[in-house]
Structure 1
Amino acid sequence: MGDVVTDMTTGPPLRRIVGFALPLAAASLFQQVYLLVDSVVVGRYVGVDGLAAVGASGPLFYLLNAMFIGLGTAFTIRLAHLRGAGQDRQRRDVVVALAAVTVCWTLGCVLLVTVLAEPVLALMGITGALAEQCARFIGVLSLGFPGIFGSAAVSAYLRGLGDSRAAMWVQACGNLLNIGLALLFVGGLGLGIAGAALATAVAASVATVVGVAASARAYPLPRGRPTRRAVRGEFVDAVRLGAPLATQHVILAVGIMVLVWIIEPYGEVVLAAFTVVSRVEAFSAILFLSFSGAVTAFAAQNLGAGHVERARQGLLRALGLTVGLTVLVSALVLLARGPVAALFTDDPTTRRVTGQYLLIIFPFLSLYTVMVVLHGYLNGARRTTVPLVCTIVAFALVQVPFAYVLSRPFGIEAVMWAVVVSWTTGLAYSVFCLRHVLTPRRTPARGHPPTPVEVRSSP
């Protein structure tokens, strides 16, 4: 693995970004294939009620997992800055701080799930037999939290070093095993949604062990003992940088819970369609989220090395590629929306609602994909508060209220159009915050030195 570490401060910018993004996309592809297969297996073997239970449980798990990913991204950014600045000795302190955060987070999440799973489901309006299935799914899944968060930490570490290919193999190992175990536990042994959760727990644990062993061999830590003061400093910096990212995911997760509460009165059929669309949307966004992660690493390394204009050029070229690929992906999903819906369920109403949802949001997918790539640059520039404010404005203040208020007179279609309104708002805010980067710089007058460009830490 050591030979593939990417120095993103040299070479063609777009080639570096794409080269970094493709392994991330492949890893995410494995993950989304697993999620799709898992949903198909649950839908086919357990039924619409099982698919609805997985969808209703999703926001709670997303809350815990995505918050940790936000903290992990802070360590990724820190490692990338150190690499760009040529300060490898501090990597040891970062690794110790990352390990400590992972252990504490795992223990805290197990405790939270044990105590709060059922009350949170009740707040979402999930009761009765559906609530029992959700609680069973989350309870079994919590057995795999050490592996789930451990593999995420390993991936964050490898991405920070620039080795997205190794991060891909760690995630692919877990996801491929997950697919096989889901088919065995749910389809073969008939364990229901508890079997799907158990498959995730076992596969993530195996991936963590493989990832830690491979990383230790390929990237031995610098000699010497980490000092408590240095580790504490890395921890504080990661929390400060990662808190906006984690808070952003908290808002998203809580907002999704509210959306589930809004949708739940329409019945399990609509909730199942909501689950299917969320899977398709996540699958379609794989490449663009990978571009976002690659732009984060690219910006972090180059801004750390003082190459401000190179970071800007990389962002602009990544945006051009993003728009072109989004048009292609949107067209493919719209053309295949019928077969896609039929893949998950035989229920005609669920298939109809799924197709309608896809037809409304996917013509506007470029609003979302451009926004997430812009957020990648902002994260790499350590301006992590901007994506947080964007989420608050676009999702919490626009999408959720829009869906709630207009769903009463206009029905479930208002929830679907709320997504488009949210994407439009988020993109407009993100472009405004990066207007100084997206617009060409004026050439300074003769005799006047150029104004230095600073990496700002606030919007």
Structure 2
Amino acid sequence: MILGNLLQQFYNIADTLIVGQFLGANALAAVGSAYSLMIFLTSVLLGLCMGSGAIFSLQYGAGDREALKRSIFVSLVLIGLVTLVLNVAVFVWIDPILRLLQVPEDVYPLMRDYLWVIFWGLGFTFIYNYYASLLRAIGNSVVPLWFLGVAVVLNIALDLIFILWCDWGVKGAAWATVIAQAVSGVGLCVYTIRKFPEFRIRREDMCMKWQTVREIAVYSSLTCAQQSVMNFGILMVQGLINSFGVAVMAAFAAAVKIDSFAYMPVQDFGNAFSTFIAQNFGAGQMKRIRDGIRVAVVSATIFCVFISLLVFAFARPLMLIFVPVHETEIISIGVQYLRIEGAFYCGIGCLFLLYGFYRGIRKPGMSVVLTVISLGTRVALAYALSAIPAIGVVGIWWSIPIGWFLADIVGLWYYRRLFSRVTRSGILKSV
């Protein structure tokens, strides 16, 4: 899962790297700002797929194959409809969205051109994440990785062809991404249907039983809310960043790719932890849950400390991957961001584990609460601190780790309160 989502990051990272090096600061700012919007839209679909995946894990762990197939059909229909509505909406409201994000006039046409093409790949994003969640729910995380690896290589190759040879500009980067997404999504769908006949939907499985619909809708919508609220907060901060001009936009565009790439493994560790907890919770394996919690905390902490040290020490060389050496202002702003936020990855690592744990024990609502605390703090502090002339844009950078740690405190407090009601011999029995 970690390798798969690291590869998935290459979709936009490849666009950002090639655009930043060959098309200039305005194009870098356009593609980077579009990334925040696309992450928000993708998070809605990813959250729905992750929520369904947790249900799949619980039913697979309990050995209820009939319920699993009904859930596959119901979730496919529900998330497919959401994808269709979302896709139509973004095409219709693309200009109001860009105005809401306060995109500067010299970046506006480039960002609009990029997004108009990228939006055509939203359906393929849904297909890939849906079948990846299904396979991961049954413990198969290798196959999604292979399909994604092929798509990433294709994306990079097409970026170079469309931008350097065909001279299509930012549209070329967008088309490269859409084509790569189509290959990974359709390919994984065909593979799953052919290789796992036990998951093929029969006519008798095509029933929208209220209990199944309710379970999928509630669980998926809560996980979706947790994912989308998190990224909606980032989108609101993106609008604030855009108001500081092209240099800050370009610096943030490059730095946030490094940032996302750095802590993405621990995010996926949290997702894998959620699947582990859900499968064992469904199977009633409480000792394995206790052991898993201990291993997860130690592993995530070691990883976060190691990555924080690397990002802090190599902030400038990392920025130079995306930004030409003569863009000194952009590089300086990006290094400042990375050294502030990168020093506190343990905060986000703990938060991802808490998200995964509460999803796994059928309490996804708590994940939403923690997300609201984290993002609400970040947005409020970002706007408040950046408005002080002596602090400025640095206040936006500091608001991020502060939000993480406040959410961690609440999540750990609730964890202790939850287990104070559980007997020593029956952990999670009363959850």
TM tier, smaller: over 0.9
1:119 to 82, 96, 111: 96
Is the contact made by 1:72 and 1:242 (CA closer than 8 Å) also made in structure 2? yes
Is the contact made by 1:75 and 1:160 (CA closer than 8 Å) also made in structure 2? no
Letter in structure 1 aligned against 2:333: V
Deviates more, 1:122-131 or 1:331-340: 122-131
Residue 294 of structure 2 corresponds to residue 316 of structure 1: yes
Match of 2:337 in 1: 357
Deviates more, 1:271-280 or 1:27-36: 27-36
Cα distance between partner residues in 2 of 1:210 and 1:319: 35
Match of 2:41 in 1: 64
1:281 to 248, 254, 259: 259
**Structural mapping, 1:103-114, within 5 Å:** 103-114=80-91
Query: What is the percent sequence identity of the aligned residues?
Result: 24
Is the contact made by 1:382 and 1:455 (CA closer than 8 Å) also made in structure 2? no
Unaligned runs of at least 5 residues, structure 2: none
Match of 1:8 in 2: none
Instruction: Give the deviation of 1:89 after TM superposition.
Output: 2.4
Cα distance between partner residues in 2 of 1:210 and 1:257: 31
Instruction: Give the deviation of 1:437 after TM superposition.
Output: 6.9
Instruction: Give the deviation of 1:401 after TM superposition.
Output: 1.0
Match of 1:407 in 2: 386
C-alpha spacing 1:451/1:145, structure 2 compared with 1 (3 Å)? closer
**Structural mapping, 1:149-228, within 5 Å:** 149-221=126-198, 224-228=202-206
Cα distance between partner residues in 2 of 1:203 and 1:37: 12
Cα distance between partner residues in 1 of 2:135 and 2:98: 35
C-alpha spacing 1:360/1:92, structure 2 compared with 1 (3 Å)? same
> Deviation digits for residues 391-419 of structure 1, max 9, x if unmatched?
111211x1111111111211111111111
Q: Could you tell me the TM-score, scaled by structure 2's length?
A: 0.93
Cα distance between partner residues in 2 of 1:451 and 1:321: 25
> Deviation digits for residues 116-135 of structure 1, max 9, x if unmatched?
11101111211423222222
1:435 to 408, 412, 416: 416
> Deviation digits for residues 61-99 of structure 1, max 9, x if unmatched?
222210111110111111111111111222322222232
Cα distance between partner residues in 1 of 2:398 and 2:249: 16
Cα distance between partner residues in 1 of 2:153 and 2:211: 37
Is the contact made by 1:338 and 1:355 (CA closer than 8 Å) also made in structure 2? yes
Match of 2:232 in 1: 254
Match of 1:453 in 2: 428
Cα distance between partner residues in 2 of 1:296 and 1:451: 20
Letter in structure 2 aligned against 1:363: A
Match of 1:394 in 2: 374
2:406 to 425, 428, 441: 425
RMSD: 2.1
Letter in structure 2 aligned against 1:406: L
Letter in structure 1 aligned against 2:411: S
Is the contact made by 1:296 and 1:377 (CA closer than 8 Å) also made in structure 2? yes
Is the contact made by 1:144 and 1:201 (CA closer than 8 Å) also made in structure 2? yes
Match of 2:212 in 1: 234
> Deviation digits for residues 344-391 of structure 1, max 9, x if unmatched?
112100000111111111111111112101211111112111111111
**Structural mapping, 1:22-101, within 5 Å:** 24-101=1-78
Is the contact made by 1:381 and 1:455 (CA closer than 8 Å) also made in structure 2? no
Residue 311 of structure 2 corresponds to residue 330 of structure 1: no
Is the contact made by 2:58 and 2:279 (CA closer than 8 Å) also made in structure 1? yes
> Deviation digits for residues 260-298 of structure 1, max 9, x if unmatched?
222223211111111112111110112211211111111
Q: Could you tell me the TM-score, scaled by structure 1's length?
A: 0.88
C-alpha spacing 1:239/1:315, structure 2 compared with 1 (3 Å)? same
Is the contact made by 2:12 and 2:35 (CA closer than 8 Å) also made in structure 1? no
Match of 1:14 in 2: none
Match of 1:243 in 2: 221
Instruction: Give the deviation of 1:442 after TM superposition.
Output: 6.9
Match of 1:142 in 2: 119
Match of 1:373 in 2: 353
Cα distance between partner residues in 2 of 1:181 and 1:266: 33
Residue 296 of structure 2 corresponds to residue 296 of structure 1: no
Cα distance between partner residues in 1 of 2:270 and 2:113: 35
Unaligned runs of at least 5 residues, structure 1: 1-23, 444-449
Instruction: Give the deviation of 1:151 after TM superposition.
Output: 0.9
Is the contact made by 2:101 and 2:238 (CA closer than 8 Å) also made in structure 1? yes
